[in-house]
Amino acid sequence: MNSAFRTYPLRWVALAAMLAGSALAFLQSLDPMLNPDSAAFVAIAQSLLSGQGLRYQEPLIPGLDLYAFRAPGYPLFLAFGFLLGGVTAVVAIQGALSGLSAALVGDIAGRLVGGTWRVRAAWIAFALRMAWPDAWFHSALLLSEVLYEFLCILATWLVLRSIDRREIGWTLGAAAATVFAILCRPVGLGLALALGIVLLARFPRAAFAYAAAALLLWAPWPIRNARVLHAAVPFTTNGGATWWAGTTDGQVRPAYDWMGRNVGVGEVGFDRHFRQLALENVKRDPGAALRADARRAFVYLGPIRGRQVGLWVHRFTMLFALAALFLGAFRRLGLPLGIWLAQGAIMVPIYLIDRYRFPSDWCVIVAGAAGMTALADRVGPRRAALVVAAALVLCLGASWALSLGMRPAP
C-alpha cells in the first residue's frame, strides 16, 4: 500500500471530506424544495423561529393547527440552519455532514474488520461512501435523509468507541445521537435496539446507561404530546396515513386530501381513522399485504432493477457485501447487519420508498469493504485487485446498458 495510505487519520479525512461534501452539495445546482415534503419541514421551522413552537399548518391540510403530525428533529435542525444563513447554510451543513458520515463510515469499517486489513477496509468504505450518488443528491435537498443517516452513523461510531475504551461517557453521546435520530424518524427505534443489544453483550454497564439516558432524553416529546393533544402520541400522528398507503397503492396524497376535507376529525382522529382502515385492508386481503411486504423487502435490498447509471456503485458494493457472507466476514459485521435488519423490519411492513432506504445503505458499504478485504485475505491482494476491477467494469457496463432504455426527462 502507498505510504500515504498506511494509516487512516480520521480527523484529517473528516475535515477534507466535510469541505468536499459542502462543495458537492452546491455543484449539483438542485432546487432544495424539489420534494413536496420540504414545504412542511420549512413551515415547522418558520413556526419555531416565530415563537409558535412546533405548532404549524400542513401545506396540504390547510385550516388545522398540527402539533405532532411530523417528527420534530429535522425542523429543529432547519431552524438552526436558517438562523445561520438560510437555505444556503442548511445545504452547506448537510453537505459537510454527508462528508463527515463518509469519514466515520470508513473508521467504523476499519474498527470492525480489524487486523492487518483495518486501514484498507477504512479507505475502501470511505471511497465507496464518497462515491454514493444518493448521498450527494439528498444533501442538496431540504429533507431529513442526510441528517438522519449522519446521526445513525455517529451513534454507531460512539458505541464502538465506548466498547473499545470501556468508557460510558461515549455511550451517553451515542444515546443523545440515537434519540435525535428517533426524533427525525421513528424508524430510529431499530437503531436503538441494535445498539442496545450489542452494548448488552459486550459492555453491560454501558447498555443500562445507554437505555436510561435515551429514555430520559426522549421522554419530553411524548409528555409534551400528551399535554397538547390529550392522547398518547409517542412518535408522530402521520403514521396512520403512511401505514394506510402501504396497504393500498402506496400513494399518501389521497389521505392528505381526505384530511383537508375533514379537518374537524382532528390530528389524533386522522391517525386513528387511517390506522383502522389499514387494519381492515390487511384483514380483508392478507395475501395482498404479504405481497406488498415482499415488494418492499425487495426494494430494501437495493435498486436492483433501477436504470440510472449511478446505481453501479450500489450494485458493485452489494456484490462484495454478498461476498462477505460467503467468505465468513459477516462474523465481524453483527452490528451493521443488525442495524440494517432492524430498520428494515420496521419499514417493510409499513411503508418504504427508495429515499427511506438510503440512510441504511452505509451498512451495505461497511459489508462491501469487509467483503473486499476478506477476498484479499483469501486469494491475496493482487488477485483480489483483479477481481475487484473486473466487478467494477461489469457493474459499470451493466448499469450503462440498463440506462439505455430510460426515457429522457421531460
Q: What is the pLDDT of residues 134-148, one digit of tens each?
A: 999 999 999 999 999
Confidence (pLDDT) at 399: 85
Q: What is the pLDDT of residues 353-374, one digit of tens each?
A: 888 999 999 999 999 999 999 9
Q: Which amino acid, one-letter code, is at 324?
A: A
Residues 386, 391, 397, 398, Cα dihedral to 10°:
160
3-state secondary structure (DSSP) of residue 57: strand
DSSP 199: H
Task: Please name the residues in contact with 233: beta carbons below 8 A apart, sequence gap of 6 or more.
Answer: 68, 222, 225, 226, 268, 271
Confidence (pLDDT) at 239: 73
Q: Which amino acid, one-letter code, is at 258?
A: W
Q: State the CB neighbour count (10 A cutoff) for residue 358.
A: 20
Beta strands in 109-175 (DSSP E): none
**DSSP letters along 353-370, please?**
-HHHHGGGHHHHHHHHHH
- pTM comes to 0.95
3-state secondary structure (DSSP) of residue 65: strand
Confidence (pLDDT) at 407: 52
State the Cα–Cα distance between residues 133 and 129, nearest whole angstrom.
9
Burial of 331 (0-12, 13-18, 19+ CB in 10 A): exposed
How high does pLDDT run on average in the chain? 92
Confidence (pLDDT) at 398: 86
